[in-house]
Chains A and B, each alone.
Chain A
Amino acid sequence: NAGVTQTPKFQVLKTGQSMTLQCAQDMNHEYMSWYRQDPGMGLRLIHYSVGAGITDQGEVPNGYNVSRSTTEDFPLRLLSAAPSQTSVYFCASSSTSEGFEQYFGPGTRLTVT
């Protein structure tokens, strides 16, 4: 099993550009989440999904869109990048049968100039 995979590993964007961060999991987990990690602020939930076709907002959803067309994939779209979105982004999957233990991908380090 590959677990949770994320691409790209690093990305630099100019203000106003859009892009999609890819996330995939092969553990058949029903839950998937996107977090951003900033110094001194732990992990903050952006969006999450409880299954294909179902998404919900987290703590910091503004400026981001998600969709979940399959159980495996959960892409995160930045609509118009801003310097405030410079961060490290983590995708995670989890299951109710495992007590919502989060399996994290390796992260994407995004810089917006």
Chain B
Amino acid sequence: TQLLEQSPQFLSIQEGENLTVYCNSSSVFSSLQWYRQEPGEGPVLLVTVVTGGEVKKLKRLTFQFGDARKDSSLHITAAQPGDTGLYLCAGVNAGGTSYGKLTFGQGTILTVHP
């Protein structure tokens, strides 16, 4: 069974601060996805990273895929109250009997105070 350890589980910060969320595994994934979920709704994809060492930016959010494709990070610069939500990482399995299955991390609940 592949596992994704996501940390921290909770993050409470003030507006304007920076933060980083980590997603680590002992398994290799073909790609890594990050989702954001609002209360009462389903998760929505933010980004997919595919290549080891890849860095993607989405406004104030920076996503990185580890060289070995086992870990990823999400960095938010100058957080705003609108960034509040649940952030989930998910590893995509692309081989054998697990083709197309996703493994999700436990999630990080981010609260940004004005």
Which residues of A pack against B, CB within 8 Å?
4, 31, 33, 35, 40-45, 48, 50, 56, 58-59, 90, 92, 94, 96, 99-102, 104-107
Contact = CB atoms under 8 A, between A and B. Distances in A.
Given A40-B106, A45-B102, A102 B41 contact: no
Given A42-B6, A42-B88, A42-B105, A102 B100 contact: no
Given A42-B6, A99-B92, A104 B101 contact: no
Contacts of A40: 9, 106-107
A92 B9 contact: no
Nearest to B4: A42
Contacts of A45: 101-103
Contacts, number: 65
B104 A42 contact: yes
B68 interface: no
A37 B107 CA distance: 10
A104 B100 contact: no
A38 to B, nearest CB: 10
Interface stretch (B12-20, B43-51, B55-63): B43-51
Interface in B87-108: 88, 90, 92, 94, 97, 99-107
B104 A44 contact: yes
B41 A107 contact: yes
Given A42-B6, A42-B107, A100 B42 contact: no
A90 B48 contact: no
